[in-house]
């Protein structure tokens, strides 16, 4: 009996020890699982923190960039007198242009004005300019392409009479009495051709499509009686 009790006694604790081990392992597994979950969450939190830190770093970089920019402004401010003088000169030139050429197009000492009330033939265009105290324009070769671009930007597509007409062999600027040669690079393709007699006058073509294709060829010869063109005065 004593021996059996001893065996049971000895077996009992082993059994309970096994149960305790199982319970301990279960708790340990739960702890490990919980830890893993927490660790995963903590990794996510760390990522969030890293992103926020990165954002802070970026904002810090932006602040540094702004500081550098401010320093450049301070350096520029040291040259304020020079910059003010430059600005003053620009304003003076702009105001002089405005005084010289109110409501017109000022290009390289020439002031041009478009009469947009109605289109007319070449003779009437000349008279319309004179009625305004102006004359039909004679743009110099160096400014006409610029004038054409400004006309396109300001008024859109159109054709404009200028003060030149044929004399039988060439075109002539009427006030300057200067010949506008038929081989001048400012002529559009195919012009003037044989259209150089006195019934043909010089027209400045302003067209967005034509500007893209032939930006440096604004002139073409046109019948002086055409009434679909605007006077370009100066």
pTM of structure: 0.59
Residue 209 has what pLDDT?
A: 85
User: How is the chain split into domains, by residue range?
Assistant: 20-75, 107-233
* pLDDT score recorded for residue 93: 47
Enclosing H/E stretch for 31 = helix 2-78
Q: Give me the pLDDT at residue 13, please.
A: 47
| CB hemisphere CA count around 57 (13 angstroms) | 6
What is the pLDDT, as a whole number, of residue 132?
Answer: 93
Task: Identify any residues that bridge with 106 across adjacent strands, giving them in sequence order.
Answer: 111
Residue ranges of the chain with per-residue pLDDT less than 70: 1-100
Q: What is the CA radius of gyration of the chain?
A: 45
pLDDT of residue 64: 56
- Please tell me the distance from the alpha carbon of residue 189 to that of residue 168, in angstroms, as a whole number: 20
Q: What is the pLDDT of residue 3?
A: 40
The pLDDT tens digits for 79-125 are 655 555 555 554 444 445 555 687 789 998 899 999 998 899 999 99
- pLDDT, residue 211, reads 79
Tell me the CATH number for domain 107-233.
Answer: 3.10.100.10
Give the pLDDT of residue 7: 40
Strand boundaries in 167-226, DSSP class E: 171-173, 178-180, 200-206, 219-223
């Amino acid at each position: 009996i004593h021996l059996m009790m001893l065996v049971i006694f000895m077996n009992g604790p082993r059994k309970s020890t096994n149960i305790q081990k199982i319970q301990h392992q279960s708790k340990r597994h739960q702890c490990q699982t919980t830890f893993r979950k927490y660790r995963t969450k903590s990794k996510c939190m760390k990522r969030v923190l890293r992103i926020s830190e990165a954002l802070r770093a970026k904002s810090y970089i932006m602040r540094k960039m702004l500081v550098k920019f401010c320093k450049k402004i301070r350096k520029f401010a040291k040259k304020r007198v020079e910059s003010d003088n430059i600005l003053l000169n620009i304003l003076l030139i702009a105001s002089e242009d405005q005084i010289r050429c109110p409501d017109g197009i000022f290009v390289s000492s020439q002031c041009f004005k478009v009469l947009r009330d109605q289109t007319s033939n070449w003779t009437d265009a000349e008279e319309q300019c004179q009625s305004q105290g102006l004359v039909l324009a004679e743009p110099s070769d160096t400014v006409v392409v610029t004038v054409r671009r400004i006309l396109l930007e300001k008024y859109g597509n159109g054709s404009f009479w200028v003060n030149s007409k044929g004399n039988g062999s060439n075109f002539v600027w009427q006030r300057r009495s200067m010949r506008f040669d038929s081989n001048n690079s400012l002529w559009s393709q195919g012009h003037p051709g044989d259209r150089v007699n006195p019934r043909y006058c010089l027209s400045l073509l302003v067209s967005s499509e034509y500007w893209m294709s032939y930006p440096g060829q604004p002139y073409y010869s046109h019948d002086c009686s055409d009434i679909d063109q605007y006077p370009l005065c100066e």
